[in-house]
């Protein structure tokens, strides 16, 4: 009976010592776990915030370009090829604020760069946008426009209405579809070298004319 009691006590001591070792090892790991929590915690919080504030309905890369659409109707093709089009735009709508870019054939032909910056605000069932560039270091609006979402079942659900513009840069209206929900990369634009050279030459000629007066 005493031997059984002794064995039982020994077993308890071994178990207890194992528990103490486990706790000790756990305490050694605790700083790393705490550091991991503080490293990952803000990221998780940011992910939740983004999920709550990012407007997934409007956020994305959109285009009116129907190249490759074998089943496009004549009406859809005609609209996509309207003067100034096609249109491609990237929008990130976060907490009601918009940032992005817009690229059109009209800009490529009539402006020194084929893409402009976008900013705007979501209001009244749509988004009011300004397309702008920086001229002499200052923000210069080149167009006012509005986008709104039609029926989600439409093939081209995003409707663009250009309210005012400083040149033949955009079609007056366009219908767009989303090509990607990834807005991590800005739209690539191209420099209109011929137009830029012509502007420089005209500027030089005007300066020389002024000097002769």
Listed in order, strand segments (DSSP E) in the chain are: 60-63, 87-94, 97-104, 115-123, 126-135, 138-149, 158-165, 173-180
- Structure confidence at residue 203 (pLDDT): 82
Pick from 64, 117, 55: nearest CA to 92: 55
Q: What is the number of other CB atoms lying within 10 angstroms of the CB of residue 9?
A: 10
Please indicate, yes or no, whether the overall pTM of this predicted structure exceeds 0.85.
Answer: no
CA distances from 84 to 29, 112, 151, 197 (A): 63, 15, 25, 22
Q: Where are the domains of the chain?
A: 1-53, 60-198
Q: What is the pLDDT of residues 38-65, one digit of tens each?
A: 565 555 555 655 657 899 999 999 999 9
| CA–CA dist 201, 203 (Å, integer) | 5
Q: Would you call 108 helix, strand, or coil by DSSP?
A: helix
- The whole-angstrom separation of Cα 138 and Cα 136 is 6
Closest CA to 155 of 89, 66, 46: 66
Whether 191 has a pLDDT exceeding 60, the answer reads: yes
E-only strand ranges, 170-212: 173-180
pLDDT tens for 129-179 read 999 999 999 999 999 999 999 887 788 999 999 999 999 999 999 999 999
- pLDDT for 30: 55
């Amino acid at each position: 009976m005493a031997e059984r009691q002794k064995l039982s006590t020994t077993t308890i001591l071994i178990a207890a010592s194992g528990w103490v070792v486990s706790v000790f090892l756990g305490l050694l790991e605790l700083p790393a776990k705490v550091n991991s929590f503080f490293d990952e915690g803000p990221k998780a919080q940011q992910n939740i915030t983004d999920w709550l504030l990012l407007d997934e309905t409007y956020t994305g890369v959109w285009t009116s370009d129907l190249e490759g659409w074998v089943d496009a109707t004549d009406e859809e093709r005609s609209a996509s090829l309207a003067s100034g089009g096609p249109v491609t735009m990237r929008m990130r709508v976060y907490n009601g604020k918009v940032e992005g870019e817009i690229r059109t054939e009209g800009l490529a032909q009539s402006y020194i760069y084929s893409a402009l910056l976008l900013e705007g605000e979501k209001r009244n069932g749509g988004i009011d946008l300004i397309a702008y560039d920086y001229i002499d270091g200052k923000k210069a609006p080149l167009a006012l426009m509005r986008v709104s979402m039609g029926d989600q079942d439409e093939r081209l659900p995003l409707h663009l209405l250009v309210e005012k513009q400083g040149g033949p840069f955009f079609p007056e209206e366009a219908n767009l579809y989303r090509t990607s929900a990834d807005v991590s990369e800005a739209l690539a634009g191209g420099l209109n070298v011929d137009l830029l050279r012509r502007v420089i030459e005209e500027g030089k000629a005007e300066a020389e004319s002024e000097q002769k007066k």
